[in-house]
Chains A and B, each alone.
Chain A
Amino acid sequence: MTPEEIRELERAIGEIWEIAGRVGLEPYPVHFELVPASIMYEFGAYGLPGRFSHWTHGRAYQQIKTQYDYGLSKIYELVINTNPAYAFLLENNSVLQNKLVAAHVLAHVDFFKNNAYFAHTNRSMLETVSINAERLRRYEFEHGQKAVEQLLDAVLSIQEHIDANPRLRVTPPEPPKRRSATPRPYDDIFALGEAKEDPPPPMPRKLPPQPEKDLLLFLADHAPDLEPWQRDVIHIVRAEQLYFLPQMQTKIMNEGWASFWHARILRELDLSSEEYVEFARLHSSVLSPSKRSVNPYYLGMKIFEDIERRWNEPSPEEREKLGRTAGQGLAKVFEVREVDNDASFLRNYLTKDLVEELDLYLYKLEGDQWVIAEKDWEAVRDTILAGMTNFGQPYIVVEDGDYRRGRELYLKHCHEGDDLDLEYADKTLKYVHQLWSRPVHLETLVEGKHTVLKYEGQHGRAIAGVK
């Protein structure tokens, strides 16, 4: 961008900020930074600037870069949930492209600030990840690059298995107070009058007391042989993952929200007709549907638009039964942005009409062809929803950290209809074993059969009939 273009963009960003405020968005202050494409792919690959080094980040960098170089895809924007927020714009984008991105960004930042699921995110995460990266560098220096990489390989392979709601965790009951171990004088006399009490049965040594979803936390706290620095690495990965979690929980909403608003804000800007054509083209390319996946930008935006319409012009039935009054569209949209996540958003607002209008379907593999298998709206909605449950990750809990009384680890996959990829499960279990350093087991269902995978230096698999 030329200096004049930069000034033009700066002016437009000021205007966009004003419009955003006028329509009711309340973003944190935002600092925009113009960066070259290489920096953009890098931040995209790492999720955040300054994050720790790992070859998987390099791999992501290479993939994004290749896709960009071949013109297959382009990251337009990257916005960081901090206060003040940071957003990165591509310096070789056109002014109009960056105007659209700026409007999109402000809506994202508004979402970060106001959606309930982001309420507890670390708003100075940029500093935190830099400190984390520095700590990992120090560990590399102290323990060798190889040791840190091997540890990270294992930890990152299970990084999704954390608990988003640790506050809901039930605290284990206190073990009953036992009498003071050292006998006091006259104990025997005091005891004379009392009924001979059976000593309380020893508490079953259960670890964890309840099934534990936060596998990372459990390993950091209880893995028998890890060194303190290794536990710290697990905590680092876990903390960063916790930061990303609300973004995974609200992808459709967040992208939908940003798209909903960038369109409106841009329409309020004074665009030349050329710019308007460019805007229309870009807008529709961002929102184009995909045969093989659901475009979160499109689906989310359509749902928000639908909510606005339905609350603006309620049907006679809705007026009567639900007492809905006309003209509440925007108020409702803002309320949804505050209280929902993707799962509740889709469950509550993806209607039959929308599924049909958007031509959503389910497809599956038949032979070597992917074929449309289902168009029933509830089946479609429920499948998309199922994909949202636990962010599309298998729900795995720690059942027992002292299995067979030998500190073996027993994990359980809470099977909800979909089988695990066993090849991957075996490989991942090997990594869990690396961290736990004793035999590890994973209970699941394979084609309805109760199956336990295990790794104790080598793989084993037991199928124990239909449960």
Chain B
Amino acid sequence: MLPTVSLSKSDWSLHRKGPIDQARHNERVKEAIKDSLGDIVSQESIITSDGKKIVKIPIRSLELPRFRFDRGRKKHAGQGQGGSKVGDVIGQEAGGQPRGPGKGKQAGEMPGIDYYEAEITVDELAALMFEDLGLPFLKPKGRALVESEEVRFDEVRKTGPLSNLDKRRTIRQNLMRNARAGRSGFGGLQNDDLRFKTWERRVKEESNAVVIAMRDVSGSMGEFEKYITRSFYFWMVRFLRTRYTQVQIVFITHHTEAKEVDEDTFFNLGESGGTKVSSAYQLALEIANERYPASEWNTYPFHFSDGDNWGEVDNQRCLDLVKALLARSNAFGYGEIQEGGRRSPSTLMSAFGQIRDPQFIGVTITKKEDVYPALKQFFSTRDESGLAAVAR
């Protein structure tokens, strides 16, 4: 008779369905994060972090929606320890999220969370953001450096040019064959004994690129403008360092005068004064010509400003300098920040409007959410026919 009740224990170590579907869930989390990158990218808490920090991102879309009641307006039943009264506060909404006791299917009975909080490091976030980005119009450059390839003989084969004959190994093979045949000593060399050295040519991939980051620190740059500039450059620097190990970044700040600064100063400087944009372009051109010859370097000047410039004369000078820079650069990026988009394009932007070169990329940013689209605008890899100068 079959037992009516039994107990056993099996090996479950190969059972891995849960973890596999969990991985798919995590993928969905990443997809959801990617969908809302625009909002996430401009979050202050991320930009001020050191990059190692874990940021928490609420994602609503991960819940499968259902037809359900409006929980906030419903009465729910609960149970006291005895002596509860009408008016007693039993909990706090918002922030303190109530959680179900989580007994299997029972978990979600409570009024409470509908969103999932994903934890992700800034680096992971950056990797997600930059998946589709790249330096535009990047060309193979810096042959001189690339030529420093090394040749390593690291393999031995039975065939090859005689000039590469490995004599030591060949003699050894001959001795061994003779020994197997019961003879001692060298002699009766056959093709089968020959050993050749072969080599591998290792080319160290070098894409020499320099990004010249220019930042307007004049008095007209308000909190919003400064924030956007910092935010954009924060991600840009992170992006460049993630994707292009060899990239160099030159930092330039300007008001009426331009100067080259180090990274810290660039991000933290808050100066004031008038604006003479041409000073920055002039300095950028000088630095580029002196230190980064166009034959060896992919050059990318970027400039962020509110477009308030000294006057028409300087705008004209800017235009000439940008043309000069374009002539020796892969692309020139200009980002104009106008909070709320209140004005028509600045006179500077209007002057740039004359440029027909697809390698000039102009972007207008009016709100925080525009930062990510701007990054995509600047750093979408494109060919010569690529569109540019699309102001939002």
Contact = CB atoms under 8 A, between A and B. Distances in A.
A359 B83 contact: yes
A13 B7 contact: yes
B78 A293 contact: yes
Interface in B70-99: 70-94, 98-99
B94 to A, nearest CB: 5
B45 interface: no
B79 A393 contact: no
B283 interface: no
Nearest to A360: B79
B75 A383 contact: yes
A383 B77 CA distance: 7
Interface residues of B, number: 69
B21 A61 contact: yes
A30 B78 contact: no
Interface stretch (B100-108, B153-161, B348-356): B100-108
A73 B93 contact: no
B5 A17 contact: yes
A370 B92 contact: yes
Contacts of A17: 4-5
Given A160-B66, A361-B80, A418-B69, A368 B94 contact: yes
A249 to B, nearest CB: 13
Contact of B7 (A34, A58, A427, A428): A34
Contacts of A35: 9, 12
Given A63-B107, A420-B68, A359 B84 contact: yes
A438 interface: no
Contacts of B27: 55
A59 interface: yes
A78 interface: yes
B148 interface: no
A31 interface: yes
A383 B106 CA distance: 19
A276 interface: no
A26 to B, nearest CB: 11
A62 B116 CA distance: 12
Nearest to A154: B64
Interface in A425-445: 425, 427-428, 431
A365 B7 contact: no
Nearest to B74: A418
Given A53-B17, A428-B67, A293 B93 contact: no
A62 B17 CA distance: 12
A363 interface: yes
B15 interface: yes
Interface in A46-86: 46-47, 53-65, 67, 72-73, 75, 78
Contacts of B116: 59
A375 B86 contact: yes
Interface residues of A, number: 91
Contacts of A374: 75, 86
A344 to B, nearest CB: 18
Output the residue of A78, A160, A364 with the most chain B CB within 10 A: A364
A371 B92 contact: no
A65 B19 CA distance: 10
A369 interface: yes
Contacts of A365: 72-73, 93, 111
Contacts of A160: 66-67
Contacts of B111: 292, 365, 370
Contacts of B102: 63-64, 67, 72-73
Contacts of A387: 77
Contact of A53 (B21, B74, B90, B94): B21
Contact of B109 (A293, A370, A372): A293
Contacts of A67: 102
A280 interface: no
Interface stretch (A36-44, A116-124, A191-199, A310-318): A36-44
B25 interface: yes
Interface in A131-171: 153, 156-158, 160-161
A299 B85 CA distance: 20
B238 to A, nearest CB: 29
A225 interface: no
B7 A372 contact: no
A419 B67 CA distance: 11
A369 B67 contact: no
Output the residue of A35, A53, A291, A422 with the most chain B CB within 10 A: A291
B67 A424 contact: yes
A291 B22 CA distance: 31
A292 B17 contact: no
A290 B79 contact: yes
A295 B116 CA distance: 25
Given A368-B92, A372-B86, A62 B65 contact: no
Contacts of A32: 5-8
B28 interface: yes
A291 B12 contact: no
B18 A359 contact: no
Contacts of A340: none
A98 to B, nearest CB: 9
A292 B78 contact: yes
18 contacts: A10-B7, A31-B6, A33-B7, A47-B105, A58-B24, A61-B22, A293-B100, A296-B106, A361-B80, A364-B75, A365-B93, A369-B93, A370-B91, A371-B90, A372-B86, A374-B75, A421-B69, A424-B67
Please list the 7 inter-chain residue pairs (A to B) with the smallest Cβ-Cβ separation, ordered nearest first: A58-B21, A427-B65, A42-B18, A58-B25, A289-B79, A58-B22, A359-B80
Given A65-B18, A365-B111, 17 more contacts: A17-B5, A31-B6, A32-B5, A34-B9, A44-B104, A53-B20, A56-B64, A58-B18, A61-B22, A72-B99, A291-B80, A359-B80, A359-B83, A362-B75, A370-B89, A420-B70, A424-B68
